[in-house]
A and B are shown apart, each in its own frame.
Chain A
Amino acid sequence: MSENRKFFVYGLFVVVAIIYLSRLLYLQVLDNTYETASNSIKAIPDIPMRGQIYDRKGRLIVYNTLVYDIYVTPNKLKVSDTLALCNLFSITKSSFDSLMKAAKTYSRVKPSLFMRQLSKEDFARIQDAMVDYPGFEYQKSSIRTYSAPVLAHALGYVSEVSKKQLDAQEYPYYRQGDLIGQSGLEKYYEEQLRGRRGVRYVMQDVHSVAKGSWKDGEMDTIALAGQNLYTSIDLDLQQYADSLMQHKAGAVVAIEPSSGEVLTITSAPTYDPALFATRDFSKNYAKLALNPYRPLYNRAVMGSYRPGSTFKTVQALVAMQMGAITPGSVFTHAGAPMKCHGHGGLSGVHSAIQWSCNPYFYHVFKRMIYANNERNVFKASSAGLQRWYEDSKKFGFGQKLGIDLPSEAKGVLPDAEYYDKRIGQNQWRFGQIYSLSIGEGELLITPLKLANLAAIIANRGWYIAPHLVKGVGKNENPLPEFKEKHETGVNRLYFEEVVNGMEMAVVRGTVSRGAIIPDIQMCGKTGTSQNKKGKDHSIFIAFAPKYNPKIAIAVFVENGGFGGFAAAPVASLLIEKYLKGHVERKAYEQEWKNKNFLQNVIIPKSQQQPSAPKEKPAPPKPEATIVKQDNATTSKPING
């Protein structure tokens, strides 16, 4: 009987062995918790230089400067003369103490950041003396450097990756302390600019003392340098636009119509991008964020305004294509609820554009809305508006154009559904929406979209989505979406009508005389964006020359008054600068550089700051965003 007991003994051995084998299988193969908890191999990232950014003539806009971060290991630190050390780093004794306290709190044996971003010159001064202070070590790092204090909004900035961004990333690339593009091109082209981080694996013992590279660097990866961005920005023009937009709030966007390349993109007031590349980032950011004129707000792509009379060009084009009017159609002022500025007799679409006649476009829009067979006035309005919506949408309104900048606003191009939701189905008709006819009411556009409209008209019917980058790294082409032509579906002949009207508007129409550029045929259209509080916003779109246009532009000056007044001179000067390379009208230039429209800006009480920085002219808060909430019927169209 005892003989059989051997089987129990065998069984016991085998069962335990199986249990242990399964446990080992789990620990070593199935579960990787313990592998990731490994603490003897430290991955040291090798962060490559970020790509540089160039303008269209190959001039550097953004590059990197080598800086040095100083680290301290409290346990290794031996300081005989604290005062001498403080003098070396140019800090006070108390700030030295607080830095050391923070370092000790983090770890006594691991290095903590002591001082960040020391310039090469400062570091050279310290480097030799550092030998006398064991415990200090340095690491090379780089900061973004700008060749000119321009283009802050479009370039964006780089800063330490946030906790939220760390959690949100799909592929775990970023780690605590990494830099990431936070806005503008830096954000949009982050992957190309950052390159690929390399990793060196080193071993360390239980006291975190380095013990050499792991497996002789077999697993290490080499860092890939970031790719350069070749933008279409013209640095000269950009600087000139910034200088013209000083003391003003608003935006300028200039596009090369044939390619969709953005030549200049400005949001005023602006700030020096270098402010965000220093160790005082948080301080500077907070200061700008509190500025009541919102210099951080990128008006060029985010600001939503009513287009005002600039939108009449679209109305004319859509109406002619639809067949609601012909190029020769003439309407009287009678029956229209809005006034006209006064002008001679009209002889068709081109002269209506030239004089920006409000009643004319009231009738044009009415024709379009009722150009269908519906008997019921509500149903007819709905069907008409929907058709108008479909045709106008092709100009890029009410949607993102897809510029290579983050946070582009869509704007609003109302369709039938829009009013159904607001007012109720079959409860609204033309009488409630006629403000749209002259670019008021619920319409909201961004300066970028208006610049694109100027480009469409310049091209007589098509556009390429505006973009800033025409080449990345060795690839000399822009992204594929920036080669695609978008057609508006409007006949070229109708465009010529509008172009003629715009030409005449400059020569003898709504545009002020001074805006005429000698020797250059500029076609333009003014716009006055209504504003509930304060003066109207001044808008101007233009392109030049009339034939084979090289530049299309949109200028917004908040609270600048009538469109032909403030915005047109700025556009005119910019076009002259771009086409001729210099500006001959020096007095005119000086006058508009000095014009101050910021004083007109009404700041909401809650944002008024007695200590608001004086040196930066503060821009007015765009009222347009508030208008969005108004009911259509309450807006009183005035003019264009």
Chain B
Amino acid sequence: MARNEQNIIQNLDWLTVLIYAACVTMGLFNVYASVYDPEEQTKLFDISNNAGRQFMFIGTSTLIIIAILVIDHKFWEVFAPFIYGACILLLLVVLVVATDIKGSKSWIKFGSFSLQPAEFAKTGTALLLSRYITQPNINLSRWKDMAWAAGLIILPMILIIASKEVGCALVFVSFLIVLYREGIPGIYPAIVVISIVLFILSLFFSPLYISLGLGVIGVLVFYFVIPRYDRNRKTAINLVVIFGAMMLFTTSVEFLINNVLQTHHRNRIKVLVDPKIDPTGIGWNVTQSKIAIGSGRLWGKGFLDGTQTKFNFVPEQHSDFIFCTIGEEHGFIGSAAVVLLILGMMCRIVFLAERQRTRFARAYGYCVAGILFFHFLVNVGMTIGLMVVIGIPLPFFSYGGSSMWSFTILLFIFLKLDAQRPFTLSRT
């Protein structure tokens, strides 16, 4: 056992751990900077402020890491269903006993600390999904197996949406990446990508222009891409059907935005389309966020010298808008460094996943990379005005116990699996 433990330390991927440590440390200092009040000389290690609490979350995360490294690696695969089940149960419980925080009913309060089960549901779902899709008798190109996999993902999503945490639920879309890697037909991710492109296009152009454009592309495809022997009635009908479906989707976007979405969601989309709309009202967050980042210039204003992010110009700066503090105080150099750090971590995880001997570990690795990617995509994107404002944290940087713990657990389960690799026999 002792020897095994030593091996764990030796085999742990220290590069990833290093990136993790860098992110967490930078995150802590930036949370401190965002709550720092020059008139009160806020202390870093003071539990009464958010920076102090964040430090405590990091400390407890270390304990969690040790625990994960000690626990046998088989635990996660074997107990995946139970972990998933527990998460679902917590999500149900939260719907009943939840404390209402800013319109969201996803928090359970323990004394002065609150826990958000939705954060942990990501890990639970990742574990069970990985286990399910890597069973030898499962083939993701089969409808039935795909439906089961989808079901596993959609169930927690529905529960999370019910607790009014739409942003958190959207994260589950990131499982598409692992499904893609593990073999669902390429058409499905393609549909998602095309839908997103059409959705964005329809925000800026009227359906009429989009259909004209699509029609032109359809005709070109028919005459120049499809080989002559395939240019028959059947192909033409197929193209028309695809065209019709896309048209339907495009026209439904407006309906969706105006009739299905809630006002504040609709406003966030409006702000994305036209950033100058109502800068003191619905556009306030995005405008202030861009001012903060833009005012950092190349080198930034310096640690604790940010002014936009202090003094409450940017709301939620210590949690969802932590990237503003980085951008303002450390400039382009700092924010680019953060982007590169996270990119490095994501790529490293994909690299590690690809060298796993078990399909479970590989699939789980892709789940982790996907979730990190989605958070990065949305969180950084919204602060620089390229994404709709969706309240999800920046992994390892944003203030918050639930997110800090859940991302630590998510990452270190994978690192544990990776460290175990030399002792594992391949099943594939």
Contacts and interface: CB of A to CB of B under 8 A. Distances in A.
**Chain A complexes with chain B:** yes
Interface stretch (B113-121, B153-161, B334-342, B415-423): B334-342
A20 to B, nearest CB: 6
Interface in B314-345: 327, 331-332, 335-336, 339-340, 342-343
B290 A215 contact: no
A229 to B, nearest CB: 41
Contact of B311 (A9, A16, A27, A203): A203
B313 A24 contact: no
Contacts of A23: 384-386
A605 interface: no
Residue among A14, A16, A20 with max Cβ neighbours from chain B (10 Å): A20
Contacts of A17: 339-340, 342-343
A614 interface: no
A212 B307 CA distance: 11
Contacts of B336: 21, 24-25
Would you call the interface of chain B mostly helix, strand, loop, or mixed?
Answer: helix
A20 B381 contact: yes
A27 B289 CA distance: 11
Interface string B382-402: 001110000000000000000
A215 B308 CA distance: 14
B196 interface: no
B215 to A, nearest CB: 28
Chain A residues touching B, majority SS: helix
Interface in B276-304: 287, 290-291, 293-298, 301-302
Range of interface residues on chain B? 35 or more
Interface residues of A, number: 39
Nearest to B387: A20
B252 interface: no
Contacts of B331: 28
Interface in A1-54: 2, 5-6, 8-10, 12-14, 16-17, 19-21, 23-25, 27-29, 31-35, 37-41
A633 to B, nearest CB: 66
B313 A39 contact: yes
A201 to B, nearest CB: 9
Contacts of A211: 38-39, 310-311
B246 interface: no
A5 B188 CA distance: 14
A34 B294 CA distance: 5
A207 B312 CA distance: 9
A39 B386 contact: no
B293 A24 contact: yes
A27 B294 contact: yes
B6 to A, nearest CB: 31
B181 interface: yes
Interface string B90-126: 0000000000000000000000000000000000000
B350 A28 contact: no
Contacts of B327: 24, 27-28
B311 A28 contact: no
A17 B342 CA distance: 9
Contacts of A28: 293-294, 296-298, 327, 331-332, 335
Given A9-B366, A203-B311, A27 B38 contact: no
A2 B384 contact: no
Nearest to A203: B307
Contacts of B298: 28-29
B394 to A, nearest CB: 12
Of A9, A41, A207, A214, chain B has the most CB atoms within 10 Å of the CB of A9
Contacts of B260: none
A32 B310 CA distance: 20
A31 B296 CA distance: 11
B339 A38 contact: no
A205 interface: yes
A206 interface: yes
Contact of B38 (A35, A41, A212): A212
A635 interface: no
B377 interface: yes
A204 interface: yes
Contact of B308 (A12, A38, A212): A38
Contact of A12 (B296, B373, B385): B373
B58 interface: no
A40 B307 contact: yes
Nearest to B327: A28
B254 interface: no
B291 A212 contact: no
A32 B354 CA distance: 43
A6 B354 contact: yes
A212 B40 CA distance: 11
B347 A13 contact: yes
Nearest to B386: A23
A556 B84 CA distance: 104
Contacts of B301: 215
Q: Could you say which of B38, B294, B380 has the most chain A C-beta atoms within 10 Å of its C-beta?
A: B294
Contacts of B312: 205-207
A10 B350 contact: yes
A594 to B, nearest CB: 67
B77 interface: no
B294 A5 contact: no
Given A6-B350, A20-B339, A34-B291, A204 B177 contact: no
A206 B315 CA distance: 10
Contact of B350 (A9, A24, A35, A37): A9
Given A17-B343, A28-B335, A2 B183 contact: yes
Given A9-B177, A24-B293, A215 B332 contact: no
B293 A34 contact: yes
Contacts of A37: 287, 291, 294
A499 to B, nearest CB: 71
A33 B343 contact: no
A38 B311 CA distance: 12
Given A20-B339, A212-B38, A5 B293 contact: no
B294 A31 contact: yes
B314 to A, nearest CB: 9
Nearest to A38: B295
A38 B307 CA distance: 9
A29 B297 contact: yes
Interface string B169-206: 00000000100111100000000000000000000000
B23 to A, nearest CB: 15
A212 B366 CA distance: 49
Nearest to A213: B38
A398 to B, nearest CB: 55
Contacts of A14: 343, 347
Contacts of B302: 215
Contacts of A19: 386
Given A34-B290, A35-B295, A38-B291, A24 B384 contact: yes
A24 B290 CA distance: 10
Nearest to B298: A29
Nearest to A8: B180
Contacts of A32: 294, 297
Contacts of A6: 181, 350, 354
B343 A215 contact: no
A41 to B, nearest CB: 5
A27 B290 contact: yes
Which 9 pairs, one residue from A and one from B, show the smallest C-beta to C-beta distance?
A34-B294, A205-B311, A40-B307, A28-B332, A17-B343, A206-B312, A38-B295, A35-B295, A27-B294
Given A13-B343, A24-B339, 13 more contacts: A5-B181, A6-B350, A17-B339, A20-B381, A27-B293, A28-B294, A33-B294, A34-B294, A35-B297, A38-B308, A40-B308, A40-B310, A203-B307
Interface of B: 38-39, 177, 180-183, 287, 290-291, 293-298, 301-302, 305, 307-308, 310-313, 327, 331-332, 335-336, 339-340, 342-343, 346-347, 350, 354, 366, 369, 373, 376-377, 380-381, 384-386
10 contacts: A6-B181, A23-B386, A25-B332, A27-B327, A28-B331, A33-B294, A40-B308, A40-B313, A205-B313, A206-B313
